Structure 1
Amino acid sequence: MSAHPSLDPSVVRWSVPPSERGDRPVLLLLHGYGSDEHDLFGLAPYLPERFVVASVRAPLAPPWPMPGASWYPIEGLDGRDPDAVTLAARAVLAWVRDAVGEAPVGLLGFSQGGAVALQTLRADPDAVSFAVVLAGYAAGGELPGDAVLAARRPPVFWGRGAADDVIPAALVDATAQWLPVHSELSGRVYPGLTHSISHDELDDVRAFLDARLALASPSSTG
């Protein structure tokens, strides 16, 4: 496949200026299809303050008239190429290397961004500490990092709505099989929730993130 465009560092939203980041853990937000860096950044006030939140813009433009940006092309309900998801994940990894450095990094992605979050974890298990996947899925195929994940079982939160009809059922079923084998899985299916994020889900995400901070530094729960 052709090279994937890189992430544009000029369209990243940060929760704090460079002088306040230091070695604080970074939570990277990956938006969904047709959205941009402003969308998930609205969640920042609901997230633990200890995290430096960074929200990036996906590098591709979806077909007109869809607005916003996309991480990989979608052509019909079954048009989600795992190789394209991997290319997007490698673009995320390149951005992390350039913009974050040695600070711990966790990922939070919605829909397409959730798929990329998991694929980034799979592409380089050493670069990502955990993943929060909201209304997303695990792309098919196999990656070299899968065996590492199965041995390490990094923390993953997977939340989805019971009334979400956007992600094909086959992908949801495959993800439900894949995640328990390759992660320390927590999460919830939210009754009545469509392809969106609810307040109950945000509360669960906050608890998951607080637990990550507590394990990393018991005296700094943010």
Structure 2
Amino acid sequence: MEKLTLQYISREPNTITEKTSLLILLHGYGSNEEDLFSFATELPEDLIIVSARAPQNLGFGSYAWYTINFTADAGKFSDIPEALEARELIATFIDEIQDKYKIPTEKTFLLGFSQGTILSYSIALNYPEKVQKIIALSGYIIPELLPENIETKDYNKLDFFISHGSVDQVIPLEWANKAPDFLNHLNIKNSFQEYQVGHGVAPKNFFDFKQWIEERL
């Protein structure tokens, strides 16, 4: 495997054609690339699935995109300089993977969980030319990670599937609930689903975002 910006694992279809789409997975804090990759066996076979590993090694197979403070409020929950650095690593990685497989932006999906979702929002809103279809699981939008010229950017092709657990003990539902209104203000297409679960992905949640992906292939 050639050396790219981030380590990753992948699943490729038997044949890659002009109809093939790409799904990039960004795991949460303290997890690794194997976590979300467990979805792969249940997702459409014509998807190239790439699961990236975050750069910060926490030990014992755990990784993070940046430092977080679990006891802080929304404004101080994330280390912003580290998050900005992680965002740029991911942005470069997306370019590398799209180039490797010759997959265009309109055929690229980005799925994040928790910390991976926070960065997925930031990637999409800063670089809408890189990804258009985003699955945002159990995360929220951080204003400090948004572009200064957000009101003038072209977001007409962005499309979000957002979900959150109603009893999430890590990222409060109220933080996630702000995303739809924010995206609506920018006329960005989005759907928001709430599930009776904690900080995780309920079976119904998986089924719903799988269907959302299939409808856009």
| TM-score higher than 0.5 | yes
Asked whether the 8 Å contact 2:121–2:136 carries over to 1, the reply is yes
- What residue number does 2:151 align with? 147
**1:154 & 1:148 partners in 2: Cα distance?**
14
Alignment CA distance shift 1:184-1:46 (3 Å): same
**1:159 & 1:149 partners in 2: Cα distance?**
25
Structure holding more strand per residue:
2
Structure 2 residue aligned with 1:121, among 98, 120, 124?
124
What is the 5 A alignment of 1:22-101? 22-23=17-18, 24-62=20-58, 67-78=61-72, 79-101=77-99
Structure 2 residue aligned with 1:208, among 201, 205, 212?
212
Alignment CA distance shift 1:144-1:27 (3 Å): farther
In the alignment, does 2:182 pair up with 1:186? no
Q: Structure 1 stretch 102-111 or stretch 52-61: which is displaced more?
A: 102-111
**2:33 & 2:199 partners in 1: Cα distance?**
18
RMSD over aligned Cα atoms: 2.4
Unaligned runs of 5+ in 2: none
Name the amino acid aligned to 1:199: P
Asked whether the 8 Å contact 2:180–2:192 carries over to 1, the reply is no
- What residue number does 1:130 align with? 133
1:60 Cα deviation after fit: 1.2
1:83 Cα deviation after fit: 4.3
Name the amino acid aligned to 1:178: F
**2:48 & 2:152 partners in 1: Cα distance?**
27
Give the match's secondary structure for 1:33. Answer: coil
TM normalised by structure 2 equals 0.82
Q: Structure 1 stretch 164-173 or stretch 36-45: which is displaced more?
A: 164-173
- What residue number does 1:220 align with? none
**2:211 & 2:40 partners in 1: Cα distance?**
14
Output one character per residue of 1:108-136: Cα deviation in whole Å (capped at 9) or x when no partner: 01111111111111121100021101111
Q: Structure 1 stretch 92-101 or stretch 166-175: which is displaced more?
A: 166-175
**2:53 & 2:152 partners in 1: Cα distance?**
29
Name the amino acid aligned to 2:95: R
Give the match's secondary structure for 1:106. Answer: strand
Unaligned runs of 5+ in 1: 1-5, 214-222
Asked whether the 8 Å contact 1:12–1:37 carries over to 2, the reply is yes
